[in-house]
């Protein structure tokens, strides 16, 4: 039997033990250290990303846009303003609007998302910040903006204008300088001089409150004018444009008038007169090199001059133009800050012995003090007699104490006590309107005619019918702050209205797009110069006369008027800058024409 072979036995345990515990501890420490460093790095990266997203969400990041429109502040007008800017940018494929206010960015974006308008390719960027802090202004690329709009704050007019003044000071202090101009919305005309003094050539001002007060007076004396202003100020229809046309040099303005098939010339920007815009110039003015033409057109690329049309017959006016000036009786319901300015405008335009009734809840002694502090000397009024009545315009028995059926026109004003809330102010105005119309309808000679037609029972048709019958006797102009309220008035057709906030937003957007237009608007709303009027057709033509728009335009020039549109007798809205101006129409004497003419 072979002998057994023995092999040496190796001990694995003894071999491992020979390496020691130290290397294991080092390896374990390195592993844990690596994991700790990785966790720290991951935490730092995560915190950095979180901070960046938080900065973006809260509007702390810098805007890298350029050639954008910058809006500083927040008010009820913002929705209408963004809508107008979006329409203006639509032809360019959209644009960029940056809004900076002292509000949370997420809240601003949520409020804008709730607004009822289409962006039409325009992007709106919101940032939180103060326009009084230069660092915040740089954050929104203020130096690269093509236009800067400073919105008036809701509340006290003087405080709002004081903040606007400080904002202009901050803007003029930007070291990089400003590429665009500044459009400032002011609440009081008295503060305009100071803002222009501080801002210099960079600033264009729109005094919203005073403009609306004067516009309401114009609309009360010329029903339908509010709709015309709404069409011209907005970008949805026709608006003002200024452009140079070298082919018109050495041509008289009379020929320039009929050289644009798709536009209506209204004035000249005279190069030799420092670029001053002259509205409604003389027919004999000869276009010089460098002169530009102010027109009303649908868009800046939709019009161009052509050769003169053939056989434009001027003819003669059918009768002498005499302004019938008879004493009127007007009622103001509510109290506005610019009441003294409205009274002075009325005193300059009304006939002698006209009456202005003021009905509001401001005590009579306090009214006199407010008017005096505003610069009105009641004893120097030449044409109007002030009649004060104290009461609440939403209480029926207070309104019934007034001779509502005897007024030529009634202005329902957004009362100073509720003007900070558009919904509350509009609700008050609507309640006052319905009460006045109902009282007037009941005081008609035959108020029950419509009711009897329905068997003597109340019906919606009879109620609206009686109110429409009352509206034929007295013109009522309601000041509306919220654009959504106009649908109620449009359907009822028992009152005209002035969309004060929307019209101001339209003016701000128009001046932001082209600052030259501000001088045109200022003259049309000022006490002197030119303004828009609605004229009866019998001032220009005979019954059933067939004339082209161009021919009536030349007839209007005999009274130094510029014809810009018309409203047919059976139509609800006026047509501004009509097409086919050379085509002959058979007009009715019940038609009306819209003209720009010197103030009466």
Query: 458 or 470: whose pLDDT is higher?
Result: 470
pLDDT digits (tens, 9 = 90+) for 380-390: 899 999 999 99
CATH number of 247's domain:
3.30.70.1450
Assess whether 203 and 228 both reside in one domain.
Answer: no
Among 322-326, 395-399, 474-478, name the one with the lowest average pLDDT.
322-326
Among 290-299, 303-312, 506-515, name the one with the lowest average pLDDT.
303-312
- Helix ranges (H only) for 237-293 are 253-257
pLDDT band at 478 (very low <50, low <70, confident <90, very high): confident
Assess whether 202 and 285 both reside in one domain.
Answer: no
Assess whether 228 and 198 both reside in one domain.
Answer: no
Average pLDDT of the chain to the nearest whole number: 84
Q: Give the pLDDT score at 16.
A: 45
Q: Give the pLDDT score at 465.
A: 57
Q: Give the pLDDT score at 454.
A: 39
Among 118-122, 326-330, 332-336, 466-470, name the one with the lowest average pLDDT.
466-470
Residue 117: domain span:
69-208
Q: Give the pLDDT score at 466.
A: 57
Is residue 467 over pLDDT 70?
A: no
262 domain residue, yes or no: yes
Is residue 270 over pLDDT 90?
A: yes
Assess whether 77 and 171 both reside in one domain.
Answer: yes
Assess whether 74 and 198 both reside in one domain.
Answer: yes
Is residue 219 over pLDDT 50?
A: yes
Is residue 76 over pLDDT 70?
A: yes
Q: Which of 572, 496, 432 is nearest to 215 (CA)?
A: 496
Last residue of a domain, one of 263, 297, 331: 297
Q: Give the pLDDT score at 2.
A: 53
Burial of 4 (0-12, 13-18, 19+ CB in 10 A): exposed
pLDDT band at 596 (very low <50, low <70, confident <90, very high): very high
Query: 142 or 50: whose pLDDT is higher?
Result: 142
346 domain residue, yes or no: no
Assess whether 157 and 234 both reside in one domain.
Answer: no
284 domain residue, yes or no: yes
Last residue of a domain, one of 173, 208, 243: 208
Last residue of a domain, one of 237, 270, 297: 297
560 domain residue, yes or no: yes
Query: What percentage of the chain exceeds 70 in pLDDT?
Result: 87
Instruction: Count the domains in the chain.
Output: 3
Q: Which of 520, 518, 519 is nearest to 147 (CA)?
A: 518
Q: Give the pLDDT score at 241.
A: 94
User: How many whole angstroms separate alpha carbon 222 and alpha carbon 214?
Assistant: 12
362 domain residue, yes or no: no
Q: What is the largest CA-CA distance in the chain?
A: 156
Assess whether 83 and 197 both reside in one domain.
Answer: yes
Assess whether 125 and 199 both reside in one domain.
Answer: yes
pLDDT digits (tens, 9 = 90+) for 130-184: 999 999 999 999 999 999 999 998 767 888 899 999 999 999 988 888 999 999 9
Assess whether 149 and 236 both reside in one domain.
Answer: no
Assess whether 192 and 242 both reside in one domain.
Answer: no
How is 562-589 classified by DSSP, letter by letter?
EEEEEE-TT-SS-EES-S-TTSEEE--T
CATH number of 123's domain:
3.40.50.720
Assess whether 95 and 192 both reside in one domain.
Answer: yes
122 domain residue, yes or no: yes
Terminal C-alpha separation, the chain: 147
249 domain residue, yes or no: yes
Query: 498 or 295: whose pLDDT is higher?
Result: 295
pLDDT digits (tens, 9 = 90+) for 547-567: 999 999 999 998 899 999 999
Is residue 453 over pLDDT 50?
A: no
pLDDT band at 6 (very low <50, low <70, confident <90, very high): low
Assess whether 197 and 229 both reside in one domain.
Answer: no
pLDDT digits (tens, 9 = 90+) for 579-588: 989 888 889 9
User: How many whole angstroms separate alpha carbon 68 and alpha carbon 89?
Assistant: 11
Among 319-333, 454-468, 488-502, name the one with the lowest average pLDDT.
454-468
Cβ-proximal residues to 493 (8 Å cutoff; 6+ apart), any chain:
468, 471
Is residue 38 over pLDDT 90?
A: no
125 domain residue, yes or no: yes
User: How many whole angstroms separate alpha carbon 170 and alpha carbon 523?
Assistant: 29
């Amino acid at each position: 039997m072979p002998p057994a072979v023995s092999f040496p036995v190796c001990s694995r345990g003894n071999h491992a033990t020979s390496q020691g515990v130290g290397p294991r501890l080092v390896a374990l420490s390195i592993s844990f250290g690596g994991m700790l460093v990785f966790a720290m790095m991951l935490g730092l990266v995560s915190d950095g990303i979180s901070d960046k997203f938080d900065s973006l969400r809260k509007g702390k990041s810098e805007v890298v846009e350029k050639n954008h429109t910058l809006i500083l502040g927040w008010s009820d007008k913002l929705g209408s303003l963004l809508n107008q800017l979006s329409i203006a940018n639509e032809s360019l494929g959209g644009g960029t609007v940056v809004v900076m206010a002292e509000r949370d960015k997420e809240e601003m974006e949520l409020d804008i998302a709730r607004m009822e308008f289409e962006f039409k390719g325009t992007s709106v960027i919101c940032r939180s910040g103060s326009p009084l802090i230069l660092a915040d202004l740089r954050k929104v690329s203020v130096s690269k903006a093509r236009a800067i709009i400073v919105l008036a704050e809701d509340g006290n007019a003087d405080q709002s204008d004081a903040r606007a003044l400080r904002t202009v000071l901050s803007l003029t202090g930007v070291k990089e300088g400003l590429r665009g101009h500044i459009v400032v919305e002011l609440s009081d005309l008295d503060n305009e001089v100071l803002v222009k003094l501080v801002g210099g050539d960079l600033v264009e001002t729109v005094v919203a409150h005073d403009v609306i007060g004067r516009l309401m007076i114009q609309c009360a004396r010329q029903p339908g004018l509010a709709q015309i202003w709404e069409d011209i100020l907005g970008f949805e229809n026709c608006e003002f444009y200024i452009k140079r046309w070298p082919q018109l040099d050495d041509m008289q303005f009379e020929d320039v008038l009929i050289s644009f098939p798709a536009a209506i010339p209204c004035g000249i920007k005279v190069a030799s007169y420092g670029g001053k815009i002259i509205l409604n110039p003389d027919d004999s003015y000869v276009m010089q090199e460098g002169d530009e033409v102010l027109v009303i057109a649908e868009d800046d690329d939709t019009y161009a001059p052509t050769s003169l049309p053939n056989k434009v017959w001027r003819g003669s006016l059918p009768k002498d133009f005499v302004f019938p000036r008879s004493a009127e009786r007007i009622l103001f319901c509510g109290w506005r800050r610019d009441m003294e300015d409205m009274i002075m405008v009325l005193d300059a335009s009304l006939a002698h012995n006209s009456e202005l009734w003021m009905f509001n809840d401001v005590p009579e002694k306090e009214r006199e003090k407010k008017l005096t502090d505003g610069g009105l000397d009641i004893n120097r009024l030449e044409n109007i007699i002030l009649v004060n009545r104290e009461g609440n315009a939403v209480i029926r028995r207070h309104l019934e104490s007034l001779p509502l059926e005897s007024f030529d026109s009634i202005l329902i004003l957004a009362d100073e006590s509720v003007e900070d809330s558009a919904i509350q102010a509009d609700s008050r105005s609507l309640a006052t309107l319905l009460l006045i119309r109902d009282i007037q309808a009941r005081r008609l000679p035959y108020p029950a005619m419509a009711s009897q037609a329905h068997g003597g029972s109340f019906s919606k048709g009879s109620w609206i019918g009686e109110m429409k019958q009352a509206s034929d006797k007295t013109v009522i102009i309601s000041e509306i702050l919220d654009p959504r309220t106009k649908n109620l008035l449009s359907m009822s057709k028992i009152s005209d209205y002035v969309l004060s906030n929307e019209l101001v937003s339209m003016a701000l957007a128009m001046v932001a797009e082209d600052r030259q237009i501000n001088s045109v608007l200022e003259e049309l709303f000022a006490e002197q110069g030119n303004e828009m009027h609605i004229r009866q057709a019998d001032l220009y033509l005979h019954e059933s006369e067939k004339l082209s728009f161009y021919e009536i335009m030349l007839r209007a020039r005999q009274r130094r008027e510029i014809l810009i549109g018309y409203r047919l007798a059976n139509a609800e809205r006026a047509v501004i800058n009509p097409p086919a101006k050379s085509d002959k129409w058979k007009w009715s004497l019940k038609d009306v024409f819209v003209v720009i003419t010197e103030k009466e």
